[in-house]
Amino acid sequence: HPLILGGIASTVDTIRTFPSAGAYKLTVRSLEAWQRGVMFSIVDSYIYGNVMYDLASILLLPAWIILYLLCLANPRAAEDAASTSLSQQQQTNQEEGQSKVKKE
């Protein structure tokens, strides 16, 4: 997800910038840097017409969601759902066929 990648990048940059800081301070500084980065990208988009936030929102977010769904989708569950719907459809067709025979 793009926001998680931004958080990882801000964490790595914070660790490189403040190598002697403690774990708590690094965590706080990383979160603050990440929040400021997101805020400044949105503000830059509105004030200066920077299109990076808009492009990331329009292109990267849907791509990450699709990738996430494809990678984490359970193919076994999809096969089971498909076979269940086919068996239900076949059962419905058989019932319709039997009802037509009874009518005749």
pLDDT digits (tens, 9 = 90+) for 2-42: 778 888 888 888 888 888 888 888 888 888 888 888 888 77
Q: How far is CA 6 from CA 12, 65, 70, 72, 85, in A?
A: 10, 16, 22, 21, 42
Q: Which residues contact 1 (CB under 8 A, 6 or more apart)?
A: 61, 64, 68
State the Cα–Cα distance between residues 45 and 71, nearest whole angstrom: 31
The pTM (predicted TM-score) of the whole model is: 0.45
